[in-house]
Structure 1
Amino acid sequence: MERGNQTGVGNFLLQGFSEELNMQSFFFGLFLSILLVTFTGNLLIFLAICSDSHLHTPMYFFLSNLSFADICFTSTTIPKMLLNIQTLNKTITYEGCLSQIFFFIVFGCLDNLLLTVMAYDRFVAICHPLHYSLIMNPRFCGLLALGSWCISVMGSLLETLTLLGLSFCKNMEIPHFFCDLPEVLKLSCSDTLINNIVVYFVTIVLGLFPLSGILFSYSQIFSSILRISSTRGKYKAFSTCGSHLSVVSLFYGTGLGVYLSSAVTSSPRTSLVASVMYTIVTPMLNPFIYSLRNRDMMGALAAFLRKVVPLSIRTIIGLS
């Protein structure tokens, strides 16, 4: 299948995880379960925060945005993969591939920026507690969230639009379960210098700069915590940012693992497995990290479930 330019109609082939037919049912069940857990967990976090007035604070406002972003992030890849497994059809259209790349970058960058904003929120809360309400006012929080959305969309548009000028050769097989931008660029017969420059530019602006902001925020946070005299005070201060630090470590640890594995080995399979961690596993674990050790979040979830779950079911699962 040959494409002379970007206006021709053609399909990419997503190789996925396994060619063996007897493994397809296993992968379908596995990733369907992950999708349901991710969607349910993040949706419950989002709805619980919206329904409980006690959680209408900057920290939980940003957490609700993060939960929504994680739902969308997972939904850009898993549903198409499940459809391909179910129909035994690995194709994705050129337009569908571009759309998947666009939304994947949008919500991936949004996750990154929201984690940065949440780190700043914790920095103000611990290092400048007396000015917290003044600095993190509702208007400023809204602007931070809106800015994160706008920057993510613009960064994604910049990377996606540069693909429109590329032509592709006969080999249209992507060794991945979704249209990963670096893998798509490898299939192009055109000069991808501009594309690579744009990718590096966006990665630095929307990747390294936010990470630097997170590291700076936590360096100041740890410095402030060490100056607290009482052990109880130190524990209380650290517990307010423990969940966020866990999510940051998981997100960046798995993300860096993808790029390091790609640099160390040329095996697409290694990169594929590493990608699963930050694209699928991390969004699934976030609700558990933020809720299991957070009494306010657990209380809000329990109150929300009492409102929406029938009494008979609540009795069975022990919510009554």
Structure 2
Amino acid sequence: MSRQDTAAAADVPARVAVIGTGVIGNGWIVRALAAGCDVVAFDPAPGAEATTRAFVERVWESVATMGLADTADPSRLRFAASAIEAVEEADLVQENVPERLEIKHRVLAELDAHAPEGVVIGSSTSGIKPSELQSACTRDPGRVIVAHPFNPVYLLPLVELVGGEHTAPVVTERARAQYAALGMRPLVVRREIEGHVADRLMEALWREALHLVNDGVATTEEIDAAVVYGAGLRWSLMGTFLTFHLAGGEGGMRHMLHQFGPALKLPWTKLEAPELTDELIEKVADGCEHQAAGRSVAELETRRDAFLTELLALTRKYWPEAEGLEGRI
């Protein structure tokens, strides 16, 4: 099945500009190439082009398993000499520079000044609100939005779309259609908030996990096992709320909240993250290295990608109606 089956072919951007080619930027490059787009990238780091091309070659088999557009071809990637050159004929711009507001402001102002009129500029920021990103742009700040994906971008379909105070609904809709045409599942967030939606949820789990390690309750391996063999299996299909809906039996969520709601008042949750001491850092790092068992990051990534391709296929099999969801919250 082609990645373009989830959206009209007319919405597929002919040329995607990717600014910043780290882990996330390279993921966007592969995602766009797989959808049959021309991709123009820019990154001032020495060796960036060689690193990106090696990455594309390494993961192409995984994306091919998921399905490629008829015109998908890694050779449709080229590197530009500047960000201005990269965006001058783009139909969609994706910014992936470091998560520092002063850098984002400088780069986004340049992209806004030179990208063609009406072209959406998406930022992969995981935490900065779009209105803050727009504040440095003077030409058309409303087209600068948050378009936050999840690693690996070339496999995981979720992209959080968040407009700022200058963003008109037509811009958000244009972005939704374009990202859907890249095979993504856009989640249009109702209002801007630091960390958006998915990262807010993941940060809560991450914070609790650090407390459990710090307090000597469990090791990193034991905590990961609790997720992998417990909640994670259910979440991969049903998410948090529908999982708890089933926990209420025939009475569903309403019964579950009435029966178990009082437990929400118990002091289980640590509302603040523990202090990141050297001792805690060593506990977490040592635990992860033990779990890796000598396998390199590249080996772990290959294992993860193989698992995700099969899991995504399984998810589609058991939740085919998800293909028709608008993906809005």
TM-score (norm 1): 0.26
Question: Comparing both chains, which one has the higher relative contact order based on Cα–Cα distances under 8 Å and sequence gaps of 6 or more?
Answer: 1
Q: Which structure has the highest strand share of the two?
A: 2
